[in-house]
Amino acid sequence: MFRILACRMIVPNMHILTVEAPAVAREVQPGQFIIIRAEEEGERIPLSVSDWDRERGTVTTIFMSIGRTTHRLARLRSGEYLPTVVGPLGNASEIEHFGTVLLLGGCYGIGSLYPIARALKEKGNRVFVVIEARSSYLFYWEDRYRMLVDGVHHITRDGSKGIKGHIGRVPEILASLGEPVNRVIINGCTFCLKRGSDATRALGITTIVDLNPIMIDGTGMCGVCRVTVGGETKFACVQGPEFDGHEVDWEELSQRRKTYMAEEVIPLRTSKCEEHMHGEEHGRKEKHGQAAAPGEPPGRERKQPQHTGEVS
Amino acid sequence: MAEKKEKKPLDLNRREMPKQPPEVRKYNFNEVAFGYPEDVAVEEAKRCIMCKKARCVQNCPVEIDIPAFIQAVADRNFAEGIRIIKQKNCLPAICGRVCPQEDQCEKTCTLVKKEGQLAIGRLERFLADWEARQGHVEMPDIPEWTGKNVAVVGGGPAGLTVAGDLILRGHRVTIFEALHRLGGVLVYGIPEFRLPKEIVNREVEYLKRLGVEVHTDFVVGKTRTIDSLLEEYDAIFVGSGAGLPWFMNIPGENLNGVYSANEYLTRLNLMKGYLFPTYHTPIKAHRRVAVIGGGNVAMDCARSALRLGAESRIIYRRSREELPARFEEVENAEEEGVIFDFLTLPLRYIGDENGWVKEMVIQKMELGEPDDSGRRRPVPIEGSEETWPVDAVVCAIGNSPNPLIGTTTPGLKLGKKGNIEADEETGMTSREKIWAGGDIVTGAATVILAMGAGRKAANSIHEYLMNGNGHDGNGHDGNGAEHKTDPKENPDIPPDIHLP
């Protein structure tokens, strides 16, 4: 069991979770991911690691509340437990002195790019960050980036901050930097990865993407995470998750990610009245009491979300 | 008793186990066979002719004293029977269910010539289940701690055997398991209807009560490397099992609806997808499922698909005689209505506009000359291509060994396919203090072979820890033939093998 130190919404629908997992924290490198289960009957889902503290033995991840497991995860509070946190999985990002690197992040990718930015700076790279969202209120960690990197740029769908449009407008930012960019690294949803890769292809800039296929074990056993890269089948969990964005078969990846769309909405088609009533009135003793700390009344911390201290 | 038996005529009536009828069981995931009632078990045991030279024992990878436990059943001394089995096998409820007995102990039963071979596996299962029903499992005495610590990587059949054997010899044992549950293929692969997970949990709980320490959610090679573990442990056994699933490298294998057997079975068994949405991992309710392959795993997939409501067929490129699956499982599958398409080879899969598989193109085969394996080689029949409608394909043609240990342990010698090279008799690898066994060494094989490898490695590790033989710091010896072992102390080396 892995104790949650903090779990709160950071911007609408996006959540930050910090959990005690000393063995993972000791080894984790930029670009790696963990697999978690939110409850005993839960599924195993991969989440990119956004930060860690080796001394405190904690790992931080940012996720979007989008399906059954992430909804459940978003409702957990400090002091409660996750039955599974396993990792670090996947290969670490390739971190070298590349020269100038542009990082492109949207959604949870804004968080998972942060350790990569930090490591690239340590290697002496010039690092620029482009963050992308529907609107300016969805940006987070801008201050953290501003203190770390050489420039932060914004793209918003509604034009409320930075360039109006989507990730396809990144060539304009590349041109405005006034220096050649040696590498682009993109983290985010499949659409963002694909559009970003499309945009840099003509410019001939090496583009690395952090793929996010469905996974179960995450250790190279089940094979559900297979993706086609450069015409070859690769297993993202042990041979990735980072690949050359110009070689990925995006259509196949998008299709494969939709495999369980129909099943995923089944549990969402209920208001779960009963569960909520138990949750509010009886401290979630019934089902969710399992995840509470032993000896503590379940749900005690529910209305007192704590800050992690890691978020500036 | 023995005298009476000699006068008795041979009883060749191998007692059947009561089973759920096929038309019932094909709609549920409950265990197919119920096990012998006590009286039937005793009747079956009494058929044993108690050969002086018990060839059944010679053919058991873990050398259970079979005549002795059979005699105990015949005498209705069930407690003694289970005690005898547990001297050699700490997982009898599992082996009684999933061992290929027809190729091992029962194959060399003297009665096999008259087609009345003793149902050794069913009796083993009976004893294990009898013990569980008593609600009291006898705990053996654990010797004082030897001062040695052993790490076991992987909580599957090989690792569980090593842990069980070494804890009984006074070593401290810690199992590191990558998944959230112990059991390896016993929990993620073999379906509930063939091996109820409650039984695996029972055996795992027994090991924990013996004092085996367990870390689940711990991926050796990622969370910690072998070399990091060696700073704390005196010996390491690697039984990390199956790795990347094989596909046939034909067009369309990445379409939605094409699964590896590992994925299909893991969703169902480890993640309990058949109970979706109570359990949260989804599995699709397909209508027409084609399972590629003819082994036990293929049977498990086909029978699972059937239980999820699909029309389920096995596509196998050779004929029924060559099926590598356990005979009993083939029979069960046939009874339940799995369709068998022998001498059939998939050529490619065709997707619909949404990227879902909708058809498969197959080719009919005929058997030609025998190949290297001694089986007749399947040869394509020209112009026999057909297109069949399917909405799911499960590829059950095997897997390569797990890559995580091999790639993160410098100096560990690997075979061509990425398997860890280990001595067949001792499990010793090319690296000091590291042993390996099970699928990570052999590639996909059976539960009992993995357990047999675990047994041999445990003996070798014990020998090393107590006497420093073999893997000592002074000139390591990775060659089993030169390994100094007293055959009297090592029951896995037959005494007639000459040792220097």
- Structural domains in chain A? 2-90 (2.40.30.10), 100-257 (3.40.50.80)
Clarify whether residues B441 and B474 are in a common domain: yes
- B133, B162, B196: which is the final residue of a domain? B133
Q: Closest partner residue to B276 among A88, A221, A263, by Cβ?
A: A263
**Residues paired with residue A226 on neighbouring β-strands, in sequence order:** A235
- Cβ distance of A233 and B253 shorter than 8 Å: yes
Residue B480's pLDDT band (cuts 50, 70, 90)? very low
User: Of B468 and A168, which is predicted with more confidence?
Assistant: A168
Q: What is the pLDDT of residue A176?
A: 92
Shortest distance between the Cα of B250 and any Cα of chain A, in A, equals 11
- Cβ distance of B180 and A86 shorter than 8 Å: yes
Shortest distance between the Cα of B70 and any Cα of chain A, in A, equals 39
Clarify whether residues B183 and B263 are in a common domain: no
Q: pLDDT tens, A97-124?
A: 999 999 999 999 999 999 999 999 999 9
Report whether pLDDT(B491) > 80. no
Q: Three-class SS of residue A83?
A: coil
Which chain A residues have a beta carbon less than 8 Å from that of B438? none
A73 near A7, Cβ under 8 Å? yes
Q: Closest partner residue to A223 among B262, B277, B281, by Cβ?
A: B262
Q: pLDDT tens, B172-197?
A: 999 999 999 999 999 999 999 999 99
Clarify whether residues B291 and B357 are in a common domain: yes
Which chain B residues have a beta carbon less than 8 Å from that of A264? 282
Query: Which run of H or of E encompasses A163?
Result: strand A163-164
What is the percentage of chain A residues whose pLDDT exceeds 70? 86
Q: Closest partner residue to B245 among A223, A227, A263, by Cβ?
A: A223
Q: Mutation test of the interface with chain B: which of A1, A81, A91, A219, choosing the one with the most B Cβ atoms within 10 A?
A: A219
Clarify whether residues B417 and B348 are in a common domain: no
Shortest distance between the Cα of B253 and any Cα of chain A, in A, equals 10
Name the domain count of chain B.
3
Q: pLDDT tens, B5-54?
A: 455 678 888 999 999 999 999 999 999 999 999 999 999 999 999 988 89
Shortest distance between the Cα of B50 and any Cα of chain A, in A, equals 44
Which chain A residues have a beta carbon less than 8 Å from that of B256? 255-256, 258-259
Does B299 fall in a domain? yes
Does B496 fall in a domain? no
pTM score, two decimals?
0.84
Report whether pLDDT(A284) > 50. no
Report whether pLDDT(A189) > 70. yes
Q: Mutation test of the interface with chain A: which of B222, B267, B352, B417, choosing the one with the most A Cβ atoms within 10 A?
A: B222
Query: Which run of H or of E encompasses A127?
Result: strand A126-133
Clarify whether residues B33 and B71 are in a common domain: yes
What is the residue-averaged pLDDT of chain B? 88
Rounded distance, CA A75 to CA A279, Å? 11
Domain range enclosing B377: 253-397
Q: What is the pLDDT of residue A310?
A: 35
Does B140 fall in a domain? no
Does B491 fall in a domain? no
Q: What is the pLDDT of residue B113?
A: 86
Does B350 fall in a domain? yes
Which chain A residues have a beta carbon less than 8 Å from that of B184? none
Clarify whether residues B318 and B406 are in a common domain: no
Clarify whether residues B391 and B408 are in a common domain: no
Shortest distance between the Cα of A266 and any Cα of chain B, in A, equals 8
Which chain B residues have a beta carbon less than 8 Å from that of A42? 280
Residue B136's pLDDT band (cuts 50, 70, 90)? confident
Clarify whether residues B303 and B237 are in a common domain: no
Q: Closest partner residue to A266 among B243, B277, B281, by Cβ?
A: B277
- Cβ distance of A87 and B243 shorter than 8 Å: no
- Cβ distance of B403 and A86 shorter than 8 Å: no
User: Of B471 and B110, which is predicted with more confidence?
Assistant: B110
Shortest distance between the Cα of B228 and any Cα of chain A, in A, equals 11
Residue B471's pLDDT band (cuts 50, 70, 90)? low
Report whether pLDDT(A295) > 80. no
Clarify whether residues B239 and B260 are in a common domain: no
Does B248 fall in a domain? no
**Nearest in space to A242 (alpha carbons), one of A251, A234, A231:** A234
Which chain B residues have a beta carbon less than 8 Å from that of A223? 244-245, 247, 260, 262-263
Rounded distance, CA A198 to CA B11, Å? 76
- Cβ distance of A260 and B218 shorter than 8 Å: no
Clarify whether residues B325 and B230 are in a common domain: no
Q: Mind spelling out the 3-state secondary structure of chain B?
A: CHHHHHHCCCCCCCCCCCECCHHHHCCCCCCCECCCCHHHHHHHHHCCCCCCCCHHHHCCCCCCCHHHHHHHHHCCCHHHHHHHHHHHCCCHHHHHHHCCHHHCHHHHCHHHHHCCCCCHHHHHHHHHHHHHHCCCCCCCCCCCCCCCEEEEECCCHHHHHHHHHHHCCCCEEEEECCCCCCCCHHHHCCCCCCCCHHHHHHHHHHHHHHCCEEECCCCECCCECHHHHHCCCCEEEECCCEEEECCCCCCCCCCECEEEHHHHHHHHCCCCHHHCCCCCCCCCCCCEEEEECCCHHHHHHHHHHHHCCCEEEEECCCCHHHCCCCHHHHHHHHHHCCEEECCEEEEEEEECCCCEEEEEEEEEEEEEEECCCCCEEEEECCCCCEEEECCEEEECCCEEECHHHHCCCCCCCECCCCCECCCCCCCECCCCCEEECCHHHHCCCCHHHHHHHHHHHHHHHHHHHHHCCCCCCCCCCCCHHHCCCCCCCCCCCCCCCCCC
pLDDT, average across residues A273-283: 57
Q: What is the pLDDT of residue B139?
A: 81
Q: What is the ipTM of this complex?
A: 0.83
- Cβ distance of A255 and B354 shorter than 8 Å: yes
pLDDT, average across residues B122-137: 91
Clarify whether residues B184 and B203 are in a common domain: yes
- B397, B415, B435: which is the final residue of a domain? B397
Shortest distance between the Cα of A223 and any Cα of chain B, in A, equals 6
Report whether pLDDT(B482) > 70. no
Does B490 fall in a domain? no
Clarify whether residues B13 and B103 are in a common domain: yes
Query: Which run of H or of E encompasses A262?
Result: helix A261-265
CATH number of the domain encompassing residue B47: 1.10.1060.10
Which chain A residues have a beta carbon less than 8 Å from that of B223? 23-24, 27, 86-88
Shortest distance between the Cα of A219 and any Cα of chain B, in A, equals 8
CATH number of the domain encompassing residue B288: 3.50.50.60
Q: Which residue of B has its CA nearest to A269?
A: B277
Does B489 fall in a domain? no
